[in-house]
Amino acid sequence: MSDNFSNEHKKYIAKIKSENRIVSITQVGVLIVLLGLWEIAGQLGWIDTFLTSYPSKIWMLFINYVVDGQLFYHIAISLSETIIGFVLGTFMGVIIAILLWWSKFWSRVLDPYMVVLNALPKTALAPIFIILFGAGYKGIIATAISVSLVVTILNMFISYQSVDDDKIKLLNTFGATKFQILSKVVIPYSIPDLISTLKVNIGLSWVGVIVGEFLVSKAGLGYLIVYGTQVFKMDLVMMNVGVLAFLSAIMYKIVASIEAKLTKWKK
């Protein structure tokens, strides 16, 4: 019986791997087909390449920027701003959410303000943060933090509140302190929600950084996009959009790998 079960289990694992491989190949295939159609349409004049450019031209521009080192310089600036904003925004949001969970009084007081801030377009606050913190890296990082901070607070606070009351009552019965309840039950329970929040904050942090660079930066991927728009170099704009997508995907994969490791560790 055990041998039969083992063989069936192996077949199931092989089937899952095969399906995952097919999905990955299909994803790459779709991308290649879309890029190919875009290239053909551009070369044959089916589309206005002044507005859309086409892949081979974007690729040549990408190579030029890589060779002369300009691209790495701008990537380093935007990526460092994003990582700092991402880490600080998430960390501060988690700490504030814990404090709100700790004090029911302040959670009730601040609840309507959190709702309003969450509904407010965060990018509208970018000029204010740039004026307060300066037209430089500090202002851009502050903008990135502001975009992800409120989302983190709300998501994590809701997660902390959704912990099973019976577990908390059981710990209270045994004389557990509030800190013990937080560390032993609330935080471990909310780890999946924290991972989901991290995934969301990746995109939000990039939005904050790019908006900040649109307004004041003299370097970075956002600056290149604005510059390309101003001089009508759409291949430069498209190239930077592609680089942004690639960097965002890498950050997302890193968080997803952390999630996978945590899942294996729990098992």
Q: In the CATH hierarchy, which top-level class contains the domain 53-266? A: mainly alpha
Question: For 40-97, how does the pLDDT look when each residue is reduced to its tens digit (9 = 90+)?
Answer: 998 888 888 888 888 888 899 999 999 988 899 999 999 999 999 999 999 999 999 9
User: Tokens for 56?
Assistant: 């081979």
Question: For 94-110, how does the pLDDT look when each residue is reduced to its tens digit (9 = 90+)?
Answer: 999 999 988 888 888 88
Question: For 14-47, how does the pLDDT look when each residue is reduced to its tens digit (9 = 90+)?
Answer: 788 888 889 889 989 999 999 999 989 988 888 8
Under 8 Å CB-to-CB from 109, ≥6 apart: which residues? none
Burial class (CB in 10 A: 0-12, 13-18, 19+), 220: buried
Question: For 171-183, how does the pLDDT look when each residue is reduced to its tens digit (9 = 90+)?
Answer: 878 887 888 888 8
Let me know: does 160 contact 186? Beta carbons within 8 Å.
Answer: yes
Let me know: does 238 contact 53? Beta carbons within 8 Å.
Answer: yes
**How high does pLDDT run on average in the chain?**
85
User: Tokens for 65?
Assistant: 């920027």
Under 8 Å CB-to-CB from 233, ≥6 apart: which residues? 227
